[in-house]
Amino acid sequence: MVFKGIKGILIYTAIVLFISVVYFIYAYTVYPPTPERETFLSEIGEGFGEIGLWALCFIYARTFLKIVMGKGAIAKRILPDYSPPASASYFHQLLGFLNRTHVYVGIATVAVILLHIALMGVPMDILFFPAVLGLVIWQGLFGMFLTWRYSPKELKKLSYLVHAQLFTGIMIGVFSYFGHLLIDN
């Protein structure tokens, strides 16, 4: 089941990549190159961008760890005598830490990425950027509904569905990568 899920994610990633490459070629030929600005604010903005990237890595390390540990559970079912390697308890602790800190890291990530976009003066006519902006706000919004204890049950269910999956993450990663390729040239 894990592999079926991973196959779906890989196919989805390939489709997002394909669409992005097509749009990249279009945008590359249509929009004039954006000159790099070296203002005081944009220097600070670059720093925020780097922090945002690390924060996203931190968030998706948890997802990765969950997938890997899910495999462990499957191994347990196939092999009745299977006992998780000693390192599993260390991973368990690490996952617990990542789970406990996710809400704070999540809020910080949204804030840092918004600051990065605001300080850099990103060209919004290149569609990669409004898309990333929208997706980050989307993650933050549904993450909040998920955490907020007064959210109605149905809203919580929907929020989990749209927040706790990899599809938005893949788009955020691919779109930001190609967006930055357009700006750096």
Residues in contact with ligand HEM by the rule CB under 6 A: 59, 62-63, 66, 99, 102-103, 106-107, 109-110, 136, 139-140, 143-144, 146-147, 163-164, 169
Smallest distance, Å, CB 164 to ligand HEM? 3
Please say which residue, 45 or 106, places its beta carbon nearer to ligand HEM: 106
Smallest distance, Å, CB 105 to ligand HEM? 8
Return the C-alpha torsion angle 14, 128, 59, 69, nearest 10: -10
Cα 67 off chain centre by: 15
Please say which residue, 11 or 103, places its beta carbon nearer to ligand HEM: 103
Smallest distance, Å, CB 130 to ligand HEM? 16
Smallest distance, Å, CB 162 to ligand HEM? 10
Give buried/exposed letters for 90-129 (b at 16+ CB in 10 A, else e). ebeeebeebeeebeebbeebbebbbbbbebbebbeebebb
Please say which residue, 27 or 55, places its beta carbon nearer to ligand HEM: 55
Please say which residue, 72 or 140, places its beta carbon nearer to ligand HEM: 140
Please say which residue, 120 or 136, places its beta carbon nearer to ligand HEM: 136
Non-local CB neighbours of 36 within 8 Å, separated by 6+ positions:
183, 184
Non-local CB neighbours of 120 within 8 Å, separated by 6+ positions:
37, 42, 45, 46, 49
Q: Retrieve residue 107's tokens.
A: 């809020």
Smallest distance, Å, CB 81 to ligand HEM? 29
